[in-house]
């Protein structure tokens, strides 16, 4: 009898990918599926990125890079980050990895393990919980509150810390809610963390280029007193519409970089070098197309939120960032599990059930509005007709 490591058998499926498979299966049978499930931009990466990738595939470099990533790319990431947030960052604090997820996975490996507790947002990105679990640590959810525009109450978060807490994961702008944590709460959390010197912070800032007017995004780089235990997660997937390229970076405290390099050499040696060259073109090239992505996301956000609030029993806050809306469906009488299933099977709108993002997401749905305006309008029309019974 095979005996699996219980830390591995405890890992749950990520619903986004299950729904994607089901939506694709229905589509293949000819059903007119509109996919508002998976969280990825519907744009193509800017042409200069594609050209750099082509050149790298043709001309090289073709060998391994340093496990930490190409120095030229790390320096460029450091320079753009330093300029963007007006802080000092050097290339030797940057670690290039194949996708955004790897940085929090490694942080959980580094600070987790039996007996450790890792705090994570609920509702929140499901792999946080499973990365914590797979390390052997106990994942401890902290509430994300609708009434705080999907931010948190710092005092409430701090009250969940115990002597076993080793890591807290923070995500703003957030998946699945689009919430941007208020500056006041982020500052209170940072101040509170001074009393917990054993706790590291993983700040997932992968959506930080998609923040809309009125929201006040705060990077954890803004708290220099915590810098020696803060890990920033970012990458190319969302910003440059490169989810399938698998390219991300972490900004790590220098004293932890050697441990990350060792994890990389055990796990994957280095990130694809051609992809790193494409990433270099992305962050050193013009950003006007990315601003264009942001402007279209904002327009679609307004469209989706207005449409959702026009459906009986549904209410939806205006999210400050990312490309997700998280409507509350308590007034419809449906559970999010049943409603999301029926919407996919009966009217062919793929979206995610709030419950899959944690217990606090139970009466919500997640819609990714990274879809064309025409698709968004049609999806809203189908949802309204289904829920209002006409
Ligand atoms: N962090 C958050 C909050 C996300 O929503 C996602 C992807 O959905 C990731 C990280 C992972 O990004 P990547 O596809 O680059 O691994």
Instruction: Look up the CATH number of the domain holding residue 182.
Output: 3.40.640.10
Burial class (CB in 10 A: 0-12, 13-18, 19+), 188: middle
Quick one: pLDDT at residue 389?
A: 87
End-of-domain residue from the set 284, 319, 344: 284
Residue 248 alpha carbon, nearest atom of ligand 1: 15
**What pLDDT, on a 0 to 100 scale, did the predictor assign at position 16?**
76
Which of 264, 284, 304 is a domain's end point?
284
Specify the pLDDT at position 17.
80
Is the CB of 219 inside a 6 Å radius of any atom of ligand 1? no
- Average model confidence (pLDDT) for the chain? 96
Q: Return the residue whose CA atom lies nearest to atom 12 of ligand 1.
A: 100
What pLDDT sits at residue 226? 98
Q: Could you tell me the pLDDT band of residue 39, with boundaries at 50, 70 and 90?
A: confident
The answer to whether residue 167 sits within a structural domain is yes
Determine the Cα–Cα distance for residues 358 and 353; give it in Å rounded to an integer. Answer: 10
- Does residue 54 sit within a domain? no
pLDDT at 202 over 80: yes
Asked if residue 52 belongs to a domain, the reply is no
Number of domains in the chain: 2
Q: Are residues 256 and 136 in the same domain?
A: yes
Q: For residue 11, what are the domain limits?
A: 6-44+288-389
CATH assignment of the domain containing 332 = 3.90.1150.10
Band of pLDDT at residue 12, cut at 50, 70 and 90? confident
CB atoms within 10 A of CB 221: 21
Residue 55 lies in a domain: no
123 lines ligand 1 (CB under 6 A): no
- Cis? peptide before 173, omega within 30° of 0: yes
Indicate whether 265 and 300 sit together in one domain. Answer: no
pLDDT surpassing 60 at residue 49? yes
Look at strands 230-235 and 200-204 and give their pairing: parallel
Supply the pLDDT for residue 390: 57
194 in the same domain as 297: no
Asked whether residue 14 carries a pLDDT value surpassing 80, the answer given is: no
| Same-domain check for residues 352 and 380 | yes
Dihedral in degrees, nearest 10, Cα atoms 328, 125, 83, 280: -120
> What whole-number distance in Å separates Cα of residue 102 and Cα of residue 165?
21
| C-alpha span between 331 and 333 (Å, rounded) | 6
pLDDT value at 10 more than 90: no
**pLDDT of 90-148, one tens digit each?**
999 999 999 999 999 999 999 999 999 999 999 999 999 999 999 999 999 999 999 99
> What is the SS3 assignment for 142?
strand
Q: What is the pTM of this model?
A: 0.97
- For position 38, what pLDDT does the model report? 84
Quick check: CB of 177 below 6 Å from ligand 1?
no
Is there a single domain that holds both residue 249 and residue 316? Answer: no
Same domain assignment for residues 217 and 196: yes
341 lies in a domain? Answer: yes
Q: Which atom of ligand 1 is nearest to the CA of 206?
A: 1
Decide if 78 contacts 89 (C-beta within 8 A).
yes
Higher per-residue confidence, 275 vs 1:
275
126 and 25 in a single domain? The answer is: no
Q: Are residues 16 and 102 in the same domain?
A: no
Residues 144 and 275 in one domain: yes
Q: In this predicted model, what pLDDT tens digit does every residue of 157-190 receive, in sequence order? A: 999 999 999 999 999 999 999 999 999 999 999 9
Q: Are residues 366 and 280 in the same domain?
A: no
- Indicate whether 300 and 169 sit together in one domain: no
Q: Which of 260, 284, 308 is the last residue of a domain?
A: 284
Same domain assignment for residues 313 and 360: yes
Peptide bond just before 61 cis, omega within 30 deg: yes
The pLDDT of residue 284 is: 98
| Ligand 1 binding pocket mutation candidate from 97, 217, 237, 319 (most atoms within 8 A of CB) | 237
Looking at residue 68, what is its pLDDT?
A: 98
268 domain residue, yes or no: yes
| Residue 103 beta carbon below 6 angstroms from any ligand 1 atom | no
Cβ–ligand 1 contact at 121 (below 6 Å)? no
Distance from Cα 176 to the centre of ligand 1, integer Å? 11
Residue 50 lies in a domain: no
As given in the structure block, the two tokens for residue 134 are: 């797979």
Would you say residue 142 lies in a domain?
A: yes
Across 296-304, average pLDDT: 98
What atom in ligand 1 is closest to the CA of residue 236?
15
User: For residue 319, which of 353, 256, 361, 369 has the smallest C-alpha distance?
Assistant: 369
> What are the C-alpha distances in Å from 313 to residues 32, 379, 388?
26, 17, 9
246-273: per-residue pLDDT in tens?
Answer: 999 999 999 999 999 999 999 999 999 9
């Amino acid at each position: 009898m095979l005996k699996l490591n219980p830390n591995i058998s405890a890992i749950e499926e990520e619903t986004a990918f299950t729904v994607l498979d089901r939506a694709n299966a229905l589509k293949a049978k000819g059903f007119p599926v509109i996919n508002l499930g998976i969280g990825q931009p519907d744009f193509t990466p800017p042409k200069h990125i594609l050209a750099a990738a082509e050149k790298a595939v043709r001309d090289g470099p073709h060998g391994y890079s340093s496990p930490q990533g190409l120095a030229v790319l790390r320096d460029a990431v450091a320079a753009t980050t330093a300029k963007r947030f007006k802080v000092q960052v050097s290339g030797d604090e940057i670690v290039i990895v194949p996708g955004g997820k790897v940085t929090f996975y490694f942080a959980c490996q580094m600070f987790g393990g039996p007996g450790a507790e890792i705090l994570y947002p609920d509702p929140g990105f499901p792999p946080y919980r499973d990365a914590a679990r797979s390390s052997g640590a106990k994942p401890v959810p902290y509430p994300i509150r609708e009434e705080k525009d999907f931010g948190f109450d710092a005092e409430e978060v701090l009250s969940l810390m115990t002597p076993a807490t080793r890591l807290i994961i923070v995500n703003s702008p957030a998946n699945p809610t689009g919430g941007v944590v208020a500056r006041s709460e982020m500052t209170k959390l940072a101040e509170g963390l001074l009393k917990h010197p054993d706790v590291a912070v993983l700040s997932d800032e992968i959506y930080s280029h998609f923040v809309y007017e009125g929201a006040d995004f705060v990077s954890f780089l803004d708290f220099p007193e915590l810098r020696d235990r803060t890990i920033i997660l970012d990458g190319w997937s969302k910003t440059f519409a490169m989810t399938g390229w698998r390219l991300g970076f972490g900004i790590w405290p220098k004293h932890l970089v050697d441990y990350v390099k060792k994890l990389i050499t055990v796990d994957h040696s280095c990130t694809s070098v051609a992809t790193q060259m494409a990433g270099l073109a992305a962050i050193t090239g013009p950003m006007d197309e990315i601003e264009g992505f942001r402007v279209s996301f904002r327009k679609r956000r307004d469209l989706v939120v207005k449409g959702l609030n026009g459906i009986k029993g549904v209410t939806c806050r205006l999210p400050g960032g990312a490309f997700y809306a998280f409507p509350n469906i308590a007034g419809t009488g449906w559970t999010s599990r049943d409603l999301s299933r029926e919407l996919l099977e009966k009217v062919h709108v793929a979206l995610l059930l709030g419950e899959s993002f944690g217990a606090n997401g139970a009466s919500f749905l997640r819609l990714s509005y990274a879809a064309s305006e025409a698709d968004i309008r049609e999806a809203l029309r189908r949802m309204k007709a289904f829920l209002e019974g006409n």
